[in-house]
Amino acid sequence: MKIVSLITARGGSKGIPNKNILEINDIPLIEYTITSSKKSNVNETWVSTDCENVSTISNNAGANIIDRPSELSNDIIMPDAALVHFAENVDFDILVFIQPTSPLLSHHYINRGLTMMGKYDSVFSAYKEHWLPRWDLDGTPIDWDINNRPRRQDVKDVFVENGAFYITTKKQLLKTKLRYSGNVGICEMPLSESYQLDSIDDLNILMKLL
């Protein structure tokens, strides 16, 4: 049973330029997830990228590199297409898809997710969220009535994908072209370790947590 991880890291980023190699505490962002992957029970750690700088930094951190075709590298294409490209070119049985924007990810959660694969076809990481009143940008309550506001304890908690990692089999990935499918399990992570780097606010939070 060959287990590999794949970290997808394009060179471009509209929100934060060169986000995937941005240094946080003198360490490139992508190196955090490469390190976590290498500490986990995966057999090989790979990075899919279209960027020479990302490739060099990732290789120096101990990752294998697969060059991502330009048609799979724009900001419209979902990462799932890069996963399928990887599956068509690399031998493995189980894939751990890791997003480089999750530097707080510990290898312990990756290992926990892998142990769940005996029961599920796919697994993803998430944190548990208590109900809070949410409003859309037009000022309309989302799924609750302002005249009959529920108590937090009367509303069921939900799981929120934190985007840290997704695990699936090569067979499922090539069949569905999706990062998760079939009987899907949830690997819970705490909110405090679920922050992703997508904005300047996220960066300010992560710099204090790392």
Residues with catalytic roles: 149
Stated length of the chain = 210
- Run of H or E residues at 113: helix 107-115
Q: DSSP letters of 160-182? A: EEEEEEEEEEHHHHHHH-SSS-S
Q: Within a 10 A sphere around the Cβ of 77, how many other Cβ atoms?
A: 13
Q: What is the helix (H) or strand (E) element at residue 66, kind and residue range? A: strand 64-67
Distances, alpha carbon 138 to alpha carbons 92, 132, 145, in Å: 47, 18, 15
| Nearby residues of 78 by Cβ (< 8 Å), 6 or more positions away | none
Instruction: Report the alpha-carbon distance of residue 10 to residue 53 in Å, rounded.
Output: 10
Report helix, strand or coil for 24.
Answer: strand
